[in-house]
Amino acid sequence: MGGSTKKPRRRAAGPALRYAHVRGARSASPAERRARNREGDDDREDRRFGVLMALTVVAVIVLSALAGFVWGRRLWAEVAPGWPGGGYGFAVTTGLLTPPAVAAVVVPLKRANWRKEKARSLGWAAAALPGAALSFVILLITFSATRPKRRRRGPECYDPGQACWVQEQYPYIWFVGLAAAVLCTALGGWIAYRYAQRRKRLLTPPEPAAPSDPPRPDRPTCT
């Protein structure tokens, strides 16, 4: 007896999976969610501040490079020759001023807390302006003494005060300025370390002395 066998139909897909409630887990309260949202807003504000500071640093470097072509020539042609020690003394002074100028910018900005104390942070930002101005001058002096690549050198590069003229007059000027900056950084770091150690000793309370054993009475002797 012949007959056709029907293929069994496939069952329809089951309903979507549902996440069962985990015993012992608790959902975040509205106050916790608000706190998380505030933390997210603070993180975004910190990132914006970091981007703003990075753009500011880039702008200062670009302006220093552009100003070096305008005022750098006058500094090296008119100020450096009359400086104590000549051009090398001018480079030593610039190198010695570099670490304090950077510290005068970094230290106030590290103390600023834009999350909790915006008004006070503005004061710290204003305190960093003198260091930023000095850093601008140092970058201007540095860029104006940087010799361009050979294919970009023209006859004007050897005019008094230009970068090629500075390198011809003072061939070891980069070594002298860099050595002065490294020496000042090492000395400043040692002074800061000694100050931190002394401050830590003054703020740390002395440890209490260990209690000594009470004196034992002498035992009576039989006579």
So where are the chain's domains? 43-201
Tokens of 116: 């909790």
CB-based contacts of 35-42 (< 8 A; 24+ apart in sequence): 42/115
State pLDDT tens for residues 183-200. Answer: 999 999 999 889 888 888
pLDDT mean over 131-152: 84
* Mean pLDDT, residues 168-196 taken together: 92
Confidence category of residue 176, pLDDT binned at 50, 70, 90: very high
CB count, 10 Å around CB of 73? 19
pLDDT attached to residue 111: 82
pLDDT tens digits, 16-27: 544 455 555 555
Distance in angstroms (rounded) separating the CA atoms of residues 73 and 80: 10
Predicted pLDDT of residue 220: 56
Which backbone phi and psi does 11 adopt, to 5 degrees? Answer: -75, 150
Interval 169-178 mean pLDDT: 92
